[in-house]
Structure 1
Amino acid sequence: MSGFWQAWKHRKQTLRDQAWHQRSKKSMDKVPDIPVSPELEANVTTIQRLLGSSDDLLSRHFVIGPKENGQKAVLVYFDTLVDKKVIDQFILEYLASPLDDRERPAIHTLESVRGMQKLVEYLLAGMSILLIEGKTEAIVCGTFHYAKRSIEEPQSEALIRGSREGFNESLSDGISLIRKRLKDPALRVRLIQVGERTKTPVNILFIEDLAPEDVVREITNRIKGIQIDGILESGYIEQMIQDNTWSPFPQIQATERPDKVVAHLLEGKVAILTEGTPFALIAPAIFTQFYQSAEDYYERFLISSMIRLIRTISLLVALLLPSLYIAFSSFHPEMIPSRLVIAMSAGRSTVPFPSVVEAFLMEITMEILREASIRLPGPIGPTIGIVGALVVGQAAVQAGLVSPIMVIIVALTTIGSFATPSYSAAIAIRMLRFPLMILAGAFGLYGIMLFLIIISIHLSALKSFGIPYMTPISPVYLKSMRDFIFRAPFFWMKERPEMFNPPDPSRQNWGGDK
């Protein structure tokens, strides 16, 4: 039966690939690879026919050299994709001036092309095409200019101590920020275009003598195997190359911080940068790195260890606190101190719902308030979140719909989830909280333990590009435990994390323990 299932899946994938290649072929047939004509107007007409009647597609006719005996030429480009100053000063003005008066051109010429298919690709990439009367090849000029956001502080990963530079939507700026910090000749950048229609540039970065070849090859093959019309954000790539689609836990880390990317590259991992998004992807990823911050390594190890311990406690509070309240109040009141039981009973005396319904109402209300505060404009969002929570909580208690202790529990749970540095990891905990509350309402502590066992089994079986997700716990790597919940001093962490199998395991080459 298993063999039949595998054969059926393979046949289905083969048919899907064949359909995709047929579609890709039809898409490419829209731009036939006809040769460049020696007649200017014929070339302009062909380009306009292939690209349609777009108002931003310009063709500027001029004469190279003296007007009396000069050569006719035309410069074709998309007005919305080029630097007009470069075109006016360094192409048209240069070519129209007498030969003796010309200075060295300041424009970068990429190559000459003879086919319309390649010519159209360059035009759509923001290049200018120079066509000359009588010539059967076109000259490609590097004049592209895209509007982009300046380098700013990352909004989703703010730190007290550390770099204030974050990625923007420009791929070249992102590579520049990484190379500024990592002046290593072994740093490699691989360019892949993804998306049949958008042809989005995607860069794969790794340090050649640190990243395992099989991991780099696997990531590259998965990105090359993406079959989709367009890539608009790195989240598309993350979803299409992750190992387990149905897992709530993120298997690839997204970050806006170039210093974090460099730190992971130095551990033997791979970074993925996508044009049009400020979020870089880091793979492989393990569970613990989503609960660590770049600031952990900028502060002294005692402070960092204490902060990590606080994050671990916050994780447990965000996941378990509502479920424990439901289990204790509904099934195990004998485990609660007598004075606390009396206080809880007094608070719940007017509540018409069971504790599980009460918890669900408050948790869903908090999730709605949190989502609303994110979508509102910056100055209004936090205010609405705080005021809304206070007003709704106070009104619900006064109306007798929820107990005061339930409001405290939901508030602590929400604050605990905010302590997680990674947004995607925090969402996973928020998702798991609801089925955990249902099991707690149905079976008490037994339901909580059953759910935790299932999650533990799932996490132990989960992998990210061949790396076990729960390392260094399962399997156990004792040396990597030095950078786990507690962070050891740097002179104790002389080797790179062994679970990533870096070809060069040594991180510090100086000797002597301190």
Structure 2
Amino acid sequence: MKTGGDWRMADETQTTAGNNEAKEREEALFRKRNAERSDSTEESVLYWQERDEIPDHFDQLKDTLKEVMGLDVSYDIIFREMTFAGRRVGLLFLNGLTDGASVTEILKRLSYLKPDDIESDAVDVMVNHYIPHFQVEESDKLSKAIDKVLTGESALFVEGEGKVILIDTRVYPVRGMEEPAVEKVVRGARDGFTETLVTNVNLVRRRVRDPGLHCEIMKVGRRTQSDVCILYVDDIADRSQVEAIRDKIKEIDIEGLPIGDKQLEEAIVNKGWHPYPLVRYSERPDVVASHLLEGRIVVMVDTSPSVMIMPTTFFDLCQHAEENRQTPFMGTYLRWVRFGGIFVSMFLLPLWMLLVVHPELKPPLLTILGPQENAKIPLIGQFLMVEFGVDLLRLAAVHTPTPLASAMGLIAAILIGEMAVETGFFVNEVVLYMAIAAIGMFATPSYELGLANRIVRLFLLIVTAMFSVKGLVIGTTLLILALTTHRSYNSSYLWPFIPFSAKAMGEVLVRKPLLLSTRRPALNKTRDHTKMGSEMNPRDGH
């Protein structure tokens, strides 16, 4: 017969053994967590429960959710357990990305259930009879349910059913639609894209009410699961181009796209070190709608307020929406002014430096050009210092608070520029021509094209300083060759200049009246080449 002391010793032994077992389990769990190297939700689910299925018991389900998505660790991941009609039900959702009113209405409806209503196949009965929502689906994959919840949907689990009900109750934070800062117009719409994909698609749908407008969505990134949408008008766009873009997006195997569309561009289009962009970025829905009707393909990435338009050319990047908001004559004038500004931003400084270094090359009418006095620093040194100074000011303007931006501009223009000339380090002409070139760069509609042209200007300045006339000629030739060999989805980047098309080049140089522009650009290889029917063609006499 055991005494009281024997019982206490036995209890202490059992307690110690239990503590040791719990400690061993914790250590094994810790080692398992450290050993996990899952790249996707599916791999993580398989790692923790060996099968990508819905567990029959909520205890096992919650254990898996804790390890895979941080249930009870992340404050915004909620698993609400309830009982409806005698069955245990759990609702998994993200606090902040879920529409609370919709979820409350669904739960209120389910609270009316009786045990007789769900005797068999409770999930099917709930989906088809008791969940008043328009986007509902079933799944037997836990990884799919977790991925859907992380996008803002709600997952309704019924214990013992082996299936989950996925309800689209997403609501995303959206900022107000504002006019894009880079693509402002005097006349025209003031709405612009936001960081929400659904809103951006609807802005385009509002302008293109064509049943042929297709919006294909897919996910990119093992971890970010970023939504990427391809938009095109099916009976206009070249299907081979659509398939090529779709296949390249599907082949992407990276962790994610946290920066959005720019990373996607590098993954599918501009994979090398070429400075010139192969896509056109736009934040204006009207610009995107007009390009869709021309047969181009648009790619949107969730969380990015700008979209990519493909394919594009050098001359496409030089055009702006303001030209189409004015009369054809004024639109043509603005286009020529813009072309002139782009040309000046690239070639003015190298040409002027060449004429200063070799005054014998000056035409009689340009004898007034050139510095009237020399400076302490050589011309090429002055140009390089001013170039990098302008870039430094541009970067500083981005990071300077708005109330201080004007003061910074005054410091740059008055103090630095004037003092540099007064002290004899710079000559007046260098500051003047650099300012003109900078204005031409900022007048370039595409920000990416303006940066690329600036790099070309630096290159031409250096080769002109090193090799004089030969350097400028060779540098310009290399530039044209580089742009000619630069391909935008098997299309020439300098089209219609190379290969030359007189009709298409005329439409680039002249903004034609609307009713005279009857055909879509041949570059897009569209299935339907005409923009309007014969009854609207003024050439037919109607």
Quote the offset at 1:36 in angstroms: 2.0
Compute the RMSD of aligned alpha carbons. 2.4
C-alpha distance in 2 between matches for 1:472 and 1:24: 49
Quote the offset at 1:26 in angstroms: 7.3
C-alpha distance in 2 between matches for 1:122 and 1:244: 31
Unaligned runs of 5+ in 2: 1-36, 117-125
Q: Which residue of 1 aligns with 2:221?
A: 195
Asked if 1:132 is matched to 2:158, the reply is: yes
Q: Which residue of 2 aligns with 1:83?
A: 99
Asked if 1:511 is matched to 2:529, the reply is: no
C-alpha distance in 2 between matches for 1:215 and 1:339: 50
Q: Which residue of 1 aligns with 2:232?
A: 206
Match of 2:454 among 416, 421, 430: 430
Match of 1:45 among 48, 51, 63: 63
Quote the offset at 1:118 in angstroms: 1.8
Q: Mapping of 1:25-40 within 5 angstroms?
A: 28-32=42-46, 33-40=51-58
**Letter of the 1:293 counterpart:** H
Structure 1 range deviating more: 35-44 or 119-128:
35-44
C-alpha distance in 2 between matches for 1:440 and 1:174: 46
**Letter of the 1:45 counterpart:** D
C-alpha distance in 2 between matches for 1:312 and 1:382: 29
C-alpha distance in 1 between matches for 2:276 and 2:65: 48
C-alpha distance in 1 between matches for 2:341 and 2:537: 38
Instruction: Sort the Cα spacing of 1:240 and 1:34 in 2 relative to 1 into closer, same or farther, 3 A.
Output: closer
Asked if 1:290 is matched to 2:317, the reply is: yes
Q: Which residue of 2 aligns with 1:265?
A: 292
Quote the offset at 1:38 in angstroms: 3.3
Report sequence identity in percent.
Answer: 27
Quote the offset at 1:83 in angstroms: 2.1
**Deviations 1:90-149 (Å, cap 9, x if unpaired)?**
13333224669x997543452122232222222222222212233222211222222121
Q: Which residue of 2 aligns with 1:15?
A: none
Q: Answer whether contact 1:243 1:465 (CA < 8 A) is retained.
A: no
Q: Which residue of 2 aligns with 1:17?
A: none
Q: Answer whether contact 1:198 1:229 (CA < 8 A) is retained.
A: yes
Q: Answer whether contact 2:294 2:520 (CA < 8 A) is retained.
A: yes
- Give 3-state SS (helix, strand or coil) of 1:483's partner: helix
Quote the offset at 1:78 in angstroms: 2.0
C-alpha distance in 2 between matches for 1:30 and 1:325: 63
Equivalences, count: 483
Q: Answer whether contact 1:373 1:382 (CA < 8 A) is retained.
A: no
C-alpha distance in 1 between matches for 2:418 and 2:270: 45
Q: Which residue of 2 aligns with 1:107?
A: 133
Q: Answer whether contact 1:211 1:270 (CA < 8 A) is retained.
A: yes
Q: Which residue of 2 aligns with 1:154?
A: 180
Q: Which residue of 2 aligns with 1:10?
A: none
C-alpha distance in 1 between matches for 2:158 and 2:130: 20
**Letter of the 1:123 counterpart:** V
Asked if 1:94 is matched to 2:139, the reply is: no
Quote the offset at 1:274 in angstroms: 0.4
C-alpha distance in 1 between matches for 2:55 and 2:217: 32
Instruction: Sort the Cα spacing of 1:324 and 1:387 in 2 relative to 1 into closer, same or farther, 3 A.
Output: same
Instruction: Sort the Cα spacing of 1:34 and 1:311 in 2 relative to 1 into closer, same or farther, 3 A.
Output: closer
Q: Mapping of 1:149-188 within 5 angstroms?
A: 149-188=175-214
Quote the offset at 1:370 in angstroms: 1.6
Asked if 1:407 is matched to 2:431, the reply is: yes
**Letter of the 2:55 counterpart:** S
**Letter of the 1:316 counterpart:** F
Q: Which residue of 2 aligns with 1:61?
A: 81
Q: Answer whether contact 2:297 2:309 (CA < 8 A) is retained.
A: yes
C-alpha distance in 2 between matches for 1:365 and 1:336: 32
Match of 1:71 among 87, 93, 96: 87
Q: Which residue of 2 aligns with 1:11?
A: none
Structure 1 range deviating more: 280-289 or 434-443:
434-443
Asked if 1:228 is matched to 2:254, the reply is: yes
C-alpha distance in 1 between matches for 2:309 and 2:416: 40
C-alpha distance in 2 between matches for 1:315 and 1:26: 47
Q: Which residue of 1 aligns with 2:419?
A: 395
Q: Answer whether contact 2:78 2:94 (CA < 8 A) is retained.
A: yes
Instruction: Sort the Cα spacing of 1:338 and 1:51 in 2 relative to 1 into closer, same or farther, 3 A.
Output: closer
C-alpha distance in 2 between matches for 1:472 and 1:184: 29
Instruction: Sort the Cα spacing of 1:27 and 1:77 in 2 relative to 1 into closer, same or farther, 3 A.
Output: closer
Structure 1 range deviating more: 425-434 or 386-395:
386-395
- Give 3-state SS (helix, strand or coil) of 1:272's partner: strand
**Letter of the 1:449 counterpart:** V
Q: Mapping of 1:451-470 within 5 angstroms?
A: 451-470=475-494
Q: Which residue of 1 aligns with 2:512?
A: 488
C-alpha distance in 2 between matches for 1:112 and 1:363: 60
Q: Mapping of 1:274-423 within 5 angstroms?
A: 274-333=301-360, 335=362, 344-348=370-374, 351-423=375-447
- Give 3-state SS (helix, strand or coil) of 2:156's partner: strand
**Deviations 1:192-237 (Å, cap 9, x if unpaired)?**
2111111101001111111111111111111112221111210011
Instruction: Sort the Cα spacing of 1:28 and 1:35 in 2 relative to 1 into closer, same or farther, 3 A.
Output: closer
C-alpha distance in 2 between matches for 1:336 and 1:354: 24
* Greater Rg over alpha carbons, structure: 2
Q: Which residue of 1 aligns with 2:264?
A: 237
**Letter of the 1:212 counterpart:** D
C-alpha distance in 2 between matches for 1:35 and 1:315: 60
C-alpha distance in 2 between matches for 1:27 and 1:112: 18
- Give 3-state SS (helix, strand or coil) of 1:31's partner: helix
Q: Answer whether contact 1:201 1:274 (CA < 8 A) is retained.
A: yes
Structure 1 range deviating more: 228-237 or 112-121:
112-121
C-alpha distance in 2 between matches for 1:305 and 1:507: 21
Instruction: Sort the Cα spacing of 1:336 and 1:387 in 2 relative to 1 into closer, same or farther, 3 A.
Output: farther
